[in-house]
Structure 1
Amino acid sequence: MIASYVVKLLMLIEVLMSGARLHVDALSMGYYDMSCPIAEPIVRDVVDQALRQDPTLAAGLLRMHFHDCFIQGCDGSVLIDSTRDSTAEKDSPANLSLRGYEIIDQAKQMIEDQCPGVVSCADILALAARDAVFFSGGPFYDIPQGRMDGSRSKIEDTINLPAPTLNTTALIKMFGQHGFNIEELVVLSGAHTLGAARCSSFKHRLSNFDSTHDVDPNLDSNFAKSMSRTCSQGDNTPMPLDPTRNSFDNAYFNALQRRMGLLFSDQSLFADPQTRRFVNAFAMNQAMFFFNFQQAMVKMGLLDVKEGDEGEIRLDCRKVN
């Protein structure tokens, strides 16, 4: 028990000293222990029940948290609905496939009934993503809480989300701007062990790829044929990102080794020597992947968080107060 707490403490210290743009003065473990102790259990139960009915929602919640944190920081801005005067982040083409908003809404309503005006939507989303990983077979990790909700949600800001067509050089630069090193880029990409992608995100790899190749040369030929069969059913047809789409494991990295990464950005991690060694390490050692993933997720959850007057506690996650 003591050893477990020591490990968690050392992990948090490493995160706080990592040099990323973190604002954590107001965040702490057990932030709601006195003001709303039922917050975490409510989120956990809501996520558990939702995933029992539809396991594919785990990928949606994890991706939603990532897309929230990379735009304006982890402030729940991705949850805000568009209005007549403003198109919000969630209506960006990059976010149209996000799923699980109703899970956040349900948890928020249940928490508001017990602790009105206390728990932020940003914290609920961070907890839901954490629990989605756990209920899919991944590691459980503590996260500091106390994020405030932001009020800005603009479609134009989503240009800063990494596209599935980026190469490793572009990914390293983009993640580096958020304070992540190359190993953290690879381990966070491992979130693609959950979920699926639509054909429109990878069909460019299957024909007229570049001036010398019709099909992406980094693709396994049989896997390319399988992708083509999927795309023959239309651009919106989904295909799993790895063979175990609802299980959080290291199968994603094993797939990259076999040149069966669905997205160009994923397979580029194995094609580039800078990132390949981390792909190989996580493919060989799932425990290492889990440990590094939980560290990187704690770090990501601290990006540009709002504190005090910088934010609010939204009463409805879909609109500012």
Structure 2
Amino acid sequence: MKFLHQNIETHRSNLFMIMKRILSVIVICSLISHSQAALEVGFYRDKCPFAEAIINHEVKKSYLIDKGIAAGIVRLQFHDCFVRGCDGSIFIDSTPTNQAEKDGSTNESIRGLEVIYNAKDKLEAVCPGVLSCADILAYAARDSNVLSGGVYWDVPAGRRDGRISRASEIVDIPLPSFNLVQITESFANKGLTQADMVALSGSHSIGRSHCFQFTDRLYNHNTKTMKDPNLDPHYAQLLRIVCPKVLQEIFNQTLVVGMNQSPFYMDSSYYGNLFKHAGLFVSDQSLLDSQTTATQAASYAANDLSWKVDFAQAMIKLSQVQVLTGNQGEIRANCRVINP
């Protein structure tokens, strides 16, 4: 009888766990369904048929002048979505009574704003009051990725613009100095998984970084060692040449270095570099600090297309973080200014 009772209790426990998993799946499916219902691929098909073509033209025009603008626009999407969600609040100008997001310290080196402003002006001329700045950025980020060698994805649209932008809230943006636990938690706070984080980190295969973002790893790692021991000595020496300590105080905001050996082309060499201890940021190199993330990084290093597909899926997910839809927010007439 005692054995029978234990067996019944075991079955009850197993049944309870199964029911919890089923309920979790139902909740997740419900959330995904709601998110997909809120945004729609082809949202402007009838409202403004040439919207995507106009945005693509502006991105390409800027890219022909400066290929680095593509990385800037991809980063812009990230920085917008991590503060108040993907609501275009990063475009709003500061006022005498409010310092806006784009003027906060973490955003001082952002690029690509003018591309979005120009696209908005063109769209207002043909479809006034139709496209949000948040949606324009989502399309521009996709187009920037494609121009840099990434894969194309359909952009779910229908976002509306937020009316609040505060520099004090950019603390939500992960820092280059974050370790694996910190950066994982930062993404989780936005509904993104650790796997999403690893895939999105690959955006560091393009673009540039200001020296001040990582020079602590070269000259002031901790009280025991000047250089980060987790940084390849030869790579560290190359970085010291580009970012000499003697010039840091004078040119702190202007000295830059490429994030990768191919800073204009999206490829998975970023992940291969991690295994050579050549990740530029602490947050980059930290992807090897767990078996799970290291295995995912190794998979991407070996399969470029696999990473590009996962990156596209993660960007779609990122672009749906805390979006405003329906009657929420507004369609800003000028991306820089809240409607009166």
How high is the TM-score relative to the length of structure 2? 0.87
Aligned to 1:299: 317
Alignment-mate amino acid for residue 300 of structure 1: L
Aligned to 1:238: 256
| Displacement after TM superposition at 1:214 (Å) | 2.3
Q: 1:163 to 1:20 in 2, by over 3 A?
A: farther
Q: 1:173 to 1:223 in 2, by over 3 A?
A: same
Residue in structure 1 matching 2:106, options 81, 88, 94: 94
SS in 2 for 1:197: strand
Alignment-mate amino acid for residue 138 of structure 1: G
Residue in structure 1 matching 2:43, options 31, 48, 51: 31
- Number of matched residues? 306
Q: 1:267 to 1:124 in 2, by over 3 A?
A: same
Aligned to 2:57: 45
Alignment of 1:171-250 (within 5 A): 171-232=183-244, 233-234=247-248, 235-236=252-253, 237-250=255-268
Where structure 2 has 5 or more consecutive residues not aligned to the other structure, the ranges are: 1-27
Aligned to 2:337: 319
2:301 pairs with 1:283 = yes
| Displacement after TM superposition at 1:211 (Å) | 3.9
Higher relative contact order, structure no. (Cα contacts within 8 Å, ≥ 6 residues apart): 1
User: Which whole-Å CA distance do the structure 2 matches of 1:187 and 1:210 have between them?
Assistant: 30
| Displacement after TM superposition at 1:270 (Å) | 2.1
Residue in structure 2 matching 1:71, options 65, 68, 83: 83
Where structure 1 has 5 or more consecutive residues not aligned to the other structure, the ranges are: 1-15
User: Which whole-Å CA distance do the structure 1 matches of 2:312 and 2:101 have between them?
Assistant: 26
Alignment of 1:142-181 (within 5 A): 142-181=154-193
Q: For the Cα contact (< 8 Å) 1:21–1:179, is it kept in 2?
A: no
| Displacement after TM superposition at 1:269 (Å) | 1.0
Q: For the Cα contact (< 8 Å) 1:108–1:121, is it kept in 2?
A: yes
Aligned to 2:139: 127
| Displacement after TM superposition at 1:206 (Å) | 1.2
SS in 2 for 1:239: strand
User: Which whole-Å CA distance do the structure 2 matches of 1:104 and 1:17 have between them?
Assistant: 33
User: Which whole-Å CA distance do the structure 2 matches of 1:182 and 1:176 have between them?
Assistant: 7
Q: 1:18 to 1:220 in 2, by over 3 A?
A: farther
Can you list the C-alpha shifts for 1:218-264, whole angstroms capped at 9, x where unaligned? Answer: 10001111111122143331011110001111121111111111111
Alignment-mate amino acid for residue 42 of structure 2: G
Alignment-mate amino acid for residue 289 of structure 1: W
User: Which whole-Å CA distance do the structure 2 matches of 1:292 and 1:33 have between them?
Assistant: 27
User: Which whole-Å CA distance do the structure 2 matches of 1:318 and 1:267 have between them?
Assistant: 36
| Structure with larger Rg | 2
Identity over aligned pairs, percent: 39
User: Which whole-Å CA distance do the structure 2 matches of 1:239 and 1:311 have between them?
Assistant: 38
User: Which whole-Å CA distance do the structure 1 matches of 2:96 and 2:108 have between them?
Assistant: 18
User: Which whole-Å CA distance do the structure 2 matches of 1:243 and 1:270 have between them?
Assistant: 20
User: Which whole-Å CA distance do the structure 2 matches of 1:20 and 1:84 have between them?
Assistant: 40
Can you list the C-alpha shifts for 1:267-290, whole angstroms capped at 9, x where unaligned? Answer: 111243331111111111011101
| Displacement after TM superposition at 1:25 (Å) | 3.5
How high is the TM-score relative to the length of structure 1? 0.92
| Displacement after TM superposition at 1:300 (Å) | 0.6
Can you list the C-alpha shifts for 1:160-218, whole angstroms capped at 9, x where unaligned? Answer: 10011100011111111112222111000111111011111001111231243321111
